[in-house]
């Protein structure tokens, strides 16, 4: 399994498509987030998928269950390989997302996407969590939300690698864990806005199913070479 997902956090679809082509065969997936999606829309996701790329559509849906179900169904029709919602939207919302995703895949004759839930953003620490009224310790909140996501029928979660080992114990070896914002010396950047993260190999050793790397690759003078270096570190052929 190629665990490396590259975040296409760029300003234009033209740049995104050029990066995608340069990373072909190295990246296991490409992430399209709110910035690029807002600029270019679903047509870019469709084009990437049609070109044979696995697209992680990172829009973090969080709304009433029916609205999220409709959004997920629409996301499936773009050809997205992985789609996420916010676990804090609750069990009913996540169940609606899971059902809508699988139903839309059947209706359109495409493979069901991986449906995952964001637990606690990696930019947040204990103080930030308390500031929004959550009294649990941060690891306990992550595990609570992950168990809810698993019970709702989702395929995995987005979480910091610092919580991966406890998530594996709580949710088992088959549950997907996607760790975003990978930083540190081994990835070539400082921690910047990430409060809870590790380097690429450390994240995988901690149990990550996939790691998401953005600036260390797309901001490098040679993005393909930067991605190849991380892939070698991960033991990816």
CA contacts within 13 A on the Cβ side of 137: 3
Those residues whose C-beta lies under 8 Å from the C-beta of residue 110, and which sit 6 or more positions away, are 76, 79
Phi, psi of 116 (to 5 degrees): -130, 165
Nearest to 141 by CA among 123, 155, 126: 126
Q: Is 54 a catalytic residue?
A: no
For β-strands 4-7 and 114-118, DSSP reports them as: unpaired
Q: How far apart are the first and last CA of the chain?
A: 10
**Would you say 58 and 88 are in contact if contact means Cβ atoms under 8 Å apart?**
no
Question: CA-CA distance, 233 to 237, in Å (whole number)?
Answer: 10
Q: Which residue among the candidates 60, 102, 103, 224 is catalytic per the annotation?
A: 60
Catalytic amino acids?
60
């Amino acid at each position: 399994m190629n665990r490396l997902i590259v975040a296409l956090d760029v300003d234009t679809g033209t740049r995104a498509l050029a990066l995608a082509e340069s990373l072909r065969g190295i990246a296991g997936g490409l992430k399209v987030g709110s910035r690029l999606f807002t600029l270019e829309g679903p047509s870019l996701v469709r084009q990437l998928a049609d070109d044979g790329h696995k697209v992680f559509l990172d829009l973090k849906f969080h709304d009433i269950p029916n609205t999220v179900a409709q959004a997920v169904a629409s996301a499936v029709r773009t050809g997205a390989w992985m789609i996420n919602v916010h676990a804090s939207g609750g069990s009913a919302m996540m169940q609606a997302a899971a059902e809508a995703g699988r139903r839309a895949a059947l209706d359109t004759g495409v493979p069901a996407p991986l449906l995952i839930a964001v637990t606690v953003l990696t930019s947040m620490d204990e103080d930030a969590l308390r500031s929004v009224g959550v009294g649990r310790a941060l690891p306990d909140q992550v595990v609570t939300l992950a168990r809810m996501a698993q019970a709702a029928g989702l395929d995995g979660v987005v979480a910091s690698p610092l919580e991966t080992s406890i998530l594996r114990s709580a949710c088992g070896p088959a549950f997907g864990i996607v760790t975003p914002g990978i930083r540190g010396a081994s990835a070539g950047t400082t921690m910047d806005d990430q409060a809870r993260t590790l380097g690429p190999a450390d994240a995988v050793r901690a149990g990550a199913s996939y790691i998401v790397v953005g600036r260390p690759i797309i901001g490098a003078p040679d993005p393909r070479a930067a991605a190849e270096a991380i892939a070698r570190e991960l033991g990816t052929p």
